[in-house]
Amino acid sequence: MIRHARAEDSPLLFDLLLEIFEDMELPILKQLAPQTFKNVMVSCMQEDFYRYSYKNGIVLEEDGVIMGCCYGYKGELEQALNLPFQQALASYGMEDVLLFPDAETFAGEWYLDSLVTAKDHRGKGVAGKLLAALPTFARDAGESIIGLNCDKVNDRARHVYEKNGFVAHSELTLSGHLYDHMQKAID
């Protein structure tokens, strides 16, 4: 079943997202102790307005097990959605630390910020099921284009995105890695 994430899902969903953050080699992973990072993130994820708020999360759950998740939002909200995390870090005296130092999306698209399948459920079509559900969420947000970023060296992800109708639109450098910004128009 595809459903919206719930606030109580946040600790597990953080653990899934952490794999993406590690692959991206985000500088914050060296700036914060792992448990502090998780505590700050989970706290923000349980808020109504944040990049990784449960309200922006979509999960695939079967038999009570979350098999994968994704997060997305209107592109023009990216900067505002980062503020709760920045405010939380300020309470640790880390006002200048950023989760994502680079802009990732564009106004006029619903941005698929992240997509991850739990390790035990890879190869079972989880990503495809989540991607197939996205047009409904994008339309509900008033958007007719879905955008995402795919690391240039991640051929497996690129294949999944292309299979689901995404095409390269432009290139971005995020945390020192080169990405294709891909888009898909929806009806």
Residue 99 is predicted with a pLDDT of 80
- 105-108 long-range contacts, Cβ below 8 Å, gap at least 24? 105/75, 105/78, 105/147, 105/181, 106/75, 106/147, 106/181, 107/74, 107/75, 107/76, 108/75, 108/76, 108/143, 108/145
Residue 93 is predicted with a pLDDT of 83
Q: What is the pTM of this model?
A: 0.94
Residue 177 is predicted with a pLDDT of 87
Residue 135 is predicted with a pLDDT of 97
d(CA 48, CA 80): 13
Burial-class residue 65 by CB neighbours within 10 Å (0-12, 13-18, 19+): exposed
Residue 178 is predicted with a pLDDT of 94
Residue 25 is predicted with a pLDDT of 84
Which residue type is seen at 81? L
Residue 92 is predicted with a pLDDT of 82
Mean pLDDT per 10-residue section of the chain, whose length is 187 residues: 98 97 88 92 97 98 97 96 92 80 92 97 95 96 97 94 95 91 94
d(CA 167, CA 14): 28
